[in-house]
Structure 1
Amino acid sequence: MDMMKDDDGRQRTGTVWTATVHAITAVVGSGVLALPWSVAQMGWIFGPIALIAFAVITYYTALLLSDCYRSPDPVTGQRNYTYMGVVKSCLEKKYVVICGIIQYIMLWGTIVGYAITAATSMMAVKRSNCLHYKGHDASCGTSGTSYMLIYGGIEIILSQFPNLEKITLLSVMAAAMSFMYSFIALFLCLVKFASHHKFRGTLIGVNPGVNGISETTKVWHSFQALGNIAFAYTFAMLLVEIQDTIKSPPPENETMKKASLYGLGVTTIFYVSLGCVGYMAFGNNVPGNVLTGFYEPFWLVDIANLAVLIHLIGAFQVYAQPMFTFFEKWLASKYPSAVFFHKVYAIWLPFTKAYFRFTICKLVFRTLFCIITIAVAMILPFFNAILGLLGSIAFWPLTVYFPVTMYISQAKIKRGSNKWLALQSLSMIALVVSLVSAVGSVADIAERLKHAKLFSVTF
């Protein structure tokens, strides 16, 4: 029996559970590994408060954005298939260009961050094995250049999947891996805490006089930590694309709100637990990527890092597929009669009944995209600084400003009313947070570039 088609002629198969899986895959990524370090920069007072505050803000704005998928009515209105489509429907044309630039910079930047983290995880596996067999005092430095190239090769192949709906299985596997390495990292931190029985950390976090950093660096790192936490929760730029995979009835906004609650609820529990337990275990000396602070049991550390790698292989595609779809449609519309963009070729896949269908544009564009992404990741292999900068770029405009502004427009909230003032105040607070975290991240990147070697990823 054929499935029922939606009001736009498409067949959607997404449910609250598939949307939740996509949301978890998009939210839980490399950012979770930097949370103990982020808490350490702010201490026991402001660290946990920041983790919970960002979760609440992200969830609230996700609810606002879910109601904008259809406009002007959130249940019966016309569909908006992308984040930029929502902006175009609710706001003036100039906002569409601004939103598009920010959204795709963030999506691409996140993928660059994933490539850096994937290489770091593979290097950590090699390092933990080396230290296990040669002793913890052995010299076990390793290069991640070859590992990053391998990761890029895998993504070139996977990038040929046609769209986000076709990688649901990959997304499910990635989400499962995110649970695995989060649990392992939490377990390892608990074991470390149990080994010394000391509640480490301080109320104000890293102390410049004790931990060997200057007052200025302390400030920059504290700002950068806010960006790291913002990055860890960011998924607004994919929410509409995920919502567009959901079948109805019930209304898509109801399903997406539940998926946002479940997805962000689960990840917040992980984030607060890992951030606080990791800080409790390591204190102010917690590493930027918490998994790199463990060498034993080496087999469990290896499993965790391999789970990170598998998760990031899937997450790369969750972030990249909307970009592929947008640019390929745009190029096809610009050149409606060009064979390069429109002629579909088919190759039979051995031992299956399926065919691999592609255009030359799809093959070339997606391959070049992956190559350029890996090249940039090799130039800027700064884990925490990159995460902080990405978080600061995305948090205010994509997670807060556009959802708030579009909701005000669609819901026709009266200017000057209590709700309007509350929403605008939220937007202003988010702007300040984004600005200070961006300053901190840029300062750290500038300092690290003084000592960096191009196309050299070391650990």
Structure 2
Amino acid sequence: MDIDAGRQVYLPRCNGDVDDDGKEKRTGTVWTATAHIVTAVIGSGVLSLAWAMAQLGWVAGPLSLVLFAAVTFYTCGLLADCYRVGDPVSGKRNYTYTEAVQSYLGGWHVWFCGFCQYVNMFGTSIGYTITASISAAAVKKSNCFHWHGHKADCDELLTPYIIAFGAVQVIFCQVPNFHKLSWLSAVAAVMSFSYATIAVGLSLAQTISGPTGKTSLTGTEVGVDLNSSQKVWLTFQALGNVAFAYSYAIILIEIQDTLASPPGENKTMRQATVMGISVTTAFYMLCGCLGYSAFGNTAQGNILTGFGFYEPYWLVDFANVCIIVHLVGGFQVFCQPLFAAVEGKVARRYPSLARNRAVLFRLVSRTAFVGLVTLLALLMPFFNSILGFLGSVAFWPLTVFFPVEMYIRQRQIPRFTTKWVALQSLSFVCFLVTLAACAASILGVRDSLKIYTPFKTKV
């Protein structure tokens, strides 16, 4: 798959107008890159961590968060070094993840990488649409419960909220250049901090004041909460949810391509990765552990919309509004590279269309994309199963396999040496986790479809 960032080439007017390759000057810093990372990482995933902890328990739950964070940090460092070919300061730049794979691996790896990356971006857009819509519905439910009592029938039809979110994204998707979205990522990052902090605070208050749910070292109990088969599958699905919480490697190269140089982009990206993953892991630990402590083995799939919290209703409302604003930005962080790839390919194949009908093509194609995402969100509004599937699909190939393979090729590590065996073992173990989580999430979607009526979902 031939993927390109699809940026315009600007004729230089002065030295400050263009970059080292004659293209638009990049102005990103470690702070803007960290904002992009936090926007991409602290998204839907943080909301499901209390539920994931309930499936895994006090031992495996925190341990899985630490292990996924460590693996993500290590492999993202390998990936950042692959942004340039040859010299890390002056070598040829790879504008997208797929270009990096083309430069180092080539062959079938390029097609497989493009397929995994852009299918996952598309799927993440669906997941964000579902999550933001559930939060919008939860705002109205929260007010209903406050004014009519906690036993009132306050269920909301999800369909109009999904359609409304899609309409908002049609407008934002017309922004033509990913470089111009730093302000949106900064706002979204503030929102993510806000609702994650509120979730932590409410969970802490619930834990202190009670009543709290029953917890255990192994999570949900066979014979009490579920049967043995359900325990196995939900454990794997929970691992998929944790993997989704760390799935930002798919846009790492695109984020790195916004960074000014010097210093070398790989150095800046490593600093941003340290800050981004450290901050998000701390929030994940607090949110997951305190959420599990508050609600125990009955923790809901989405901690802020499952209505374990009713009061203060205005704070719950504010947290859900923050989720909505954040996911508007997060949607763009994931889908803009996809737009750039498609439009770049069209521009190369049909140059006259790119020159004469670029605005019209962008309007039609991006609106069609959002329309398709909205339709699929309407047809499959299954929060935890969708997140588990997306996390599992992205984790092994994009977070582990390609960074490891490119690092081996870049450093020319001989086969069957200690380092080669260690790297391949890491990749194989992560492949097994991905396979199990993917199977469990597909099973979850299948079970949900048995009792699902299209366009009639209420939350």
Q: Which residue does the alignment assign to 2:241?
A: 228
Q: CA RMSD of the aligned region, Å? A: 1.3
User: 1: distance between equivalents of 2:62 and 2:280?
Assistant: 14
User: 2: distance between equivalents of 1:199 and 1:375?
Assistant: 37
Q: Which residue does the alignment assign to 1:348?
A: none
Q: Which residue does the alignment assign to 1:270?
A: 283
CA contact (8 A) 1:379 1:456 kept: no
The Cα of 1:206 is off from its aligned counterpart by 0.4
Q: Which residue does the alignment assign to 2:6?
A: none
Indicate yes or no: 2:166 matched with 1:176: no
2:209 maps to amino acid: S
User: 2: distance between equivalents of 1:200 and 1:278?
Assistant: 12
1:299 maps to amino acid: W
Q: Which residue does the alignment assign to 2:158?
A: 144
Q: Which residue does the alignment assign to 1:297?
A: 312
CA contact (8 A) 1:392 1:437 kept: yes
The Cα of 1:4 is off from its aligned counterpart by 6.1
2:458 maps to amino acid: T
The Cα of 1:360 is off from its aligned counterpart by 1.1
User: Partner of 2:304: helix, strand, or coil?
Assistant: helix
The Cα of 1:140 is off from its aligned counterpart by 0.8
Q: Which residue does the alignment assign to 2:378?
A: 378
TM-score (norm 1): 0.94
Unaligned runs of 5+ in 1: 345-357
Q: Which residue does the alignment assign to 2:97?
A: 83
User: Partner of 1:427: helix, strand, or coil?
Assistant: helix
User: Where do 1:70-219 residues align within 5 Å?
Assistant: 70-196=84-210, 200-211=214-225, 213-219=226-232
User: Partner of 1:165: helix, strand, or coil?
Assistant: helix
CA contact (8 A) 1:163 1:322 kept: no
CA contact (8 A) 2:89 2:263 kept: no
Residue of 25, 28, 33 corresponding to 1:19: 33
2:320 maps to amino acid: N
1:408 maps to amino acid: I
2:401 maps to amino acid: Y
User: 1: distance between equivalents of 2:250 and 2:112?
Assistant: 13
CA contact (8 A) 2:240 2:389 kept: yes
Per mean C-alpha deviation after superposition, the further-off stretch among 194-203 and 162-171 is: 194-203
Indicate yes or no: 2:67 matched with 1:42: no
User: 2: distance between equivalents of 1:123 and 1:208?
Assistant: 33
CA contact (8 A) 2:51 2:299 kept: yes
User: Where do 1:438-453 residues align within 5 Å?
Assistant: 438-453=438-453
CA contact (8 A) 2:212 2:296 kept: no
User: 2: distance between equivalents of 1:395 and 1:374?
Assistant: 24
Query: What do the CA deviations read for 1:218-276 (whole angstroms, capped 9, x no partner)?
Result: 11110000000000001011000000000111100000000000011100000011111
CA contact (8 A) 2:138 2:320 kept: yes
CA contact (8 A) 2:89 2:262 kept: no
Query: What do the CA deviations read for 1:399-456 (whole angstroms, capped 9, x no partner)?
Result: 0000000111011112122111111111011001000101110111100001111233
Indicate yes or no: 2:366 matched with 1:321: no
Q: Between Structure 1 and Structure 2, how many residues are aligned?
A: 443
Q: Which residue does the alignment assign to 2:11?
A: none
CA contact (8 A) 2:50 2:292 kept: yes
Indicate yes or no: 2:456 matched with 1:456: yes
The Cα of 1:197 is off from its aligned counterpart by 7.0
Q: Which residue does the alignment assign to 1:306?
A: 321
Q: Which residue does the alignment assign to 1:349?
A: none
Q: Which residue does the alignment assign to 1:355?
A: none
User: Where do 1:221-370 residues align within 5 Å?
Assistant: 221-292=234-305, 293-338=308-353, 341-343=354-356, 359-370=359-370
Unaligned runs of 5+ in 2: 1-13
CA contact (8 A) 1:378 1:456 kept: no
User: 1: distance between equivalents of 2:246 and 2:197?
Assistant: 18
1:379 maps to amino acid: L
CA contact (8 A) 1:375 1:455 kept: no
User: 1: distance between equivalents of 2:168 and 2:192?
Assistant: 19
User: 1: distance between equivalents of 2:177 and 2:418?
Assistant: 42
1:447 maps to amino acid: D
Query: What do the CA deviations read for 1:323-349 (whole angstroms, capped 9, x no partner)?
Result: 0000011112121223xx3315xxxxx
CA contact (8 A) 2:213 2:297 kept: no
1:146 maps to amino acid: P
Tell me the percent identity. 50
User: 2: distance between equivalents of 1:387 and 1:279?
Assistant: 19
The Cα of 1:359 is off from its aligned counterpart by 1.7
The Cα of 1:198 is off from its aligned counterpart by 5.6
User: Where do 1:383-394 residues align within 5 Å?
Assistant: 383-394=383-394
TM-score (norm 2): 0.94
User: 1: distance between equivalents of 2:215 and 2:135?
Assistant: 26
User: 1: distance between equivalents of 2:359 and 2:291?
Assistant: 48
Query: What do the CA deviations read for 1:55-102 (whole angstroms, capped 9, x no partner)?
Result: 000000000000000013333321000000000000022111111111
User: Partner of 1:291: helix, strand, or coil?
Assistant: coil
User: Partner of 1:290: helix, strand, or coil?
Assistant: coil
User: 1: distance between equivalents of 2:398 and 2:17?
Assistant: 33
The Cα of 1:208 is off from its aligned counterpart by 2.6
2:408 maps to amino acid: I
User: 1: distance between equivalents of 2:415 and 2:199?
Assistant: 47
User: Where do 1:424-443 residues align within 5 Å?
Assistant: 424-443=424-443
User: 2: distance between equivalents of 1:62 and 1:313?
Assistant: 25
User: 1: distance between equivalents of 2:183 and 2:96?
Assistant: 22
1:371 maps to amino acid: G
CA contact (8 A) 2:104 2:409 kept: yes
User: Partner of 1:204: helix, strand, or coil?
Assistant: coil
User: 2: distance between equivalents of 1:82 and 1:263?
Assistant: 20
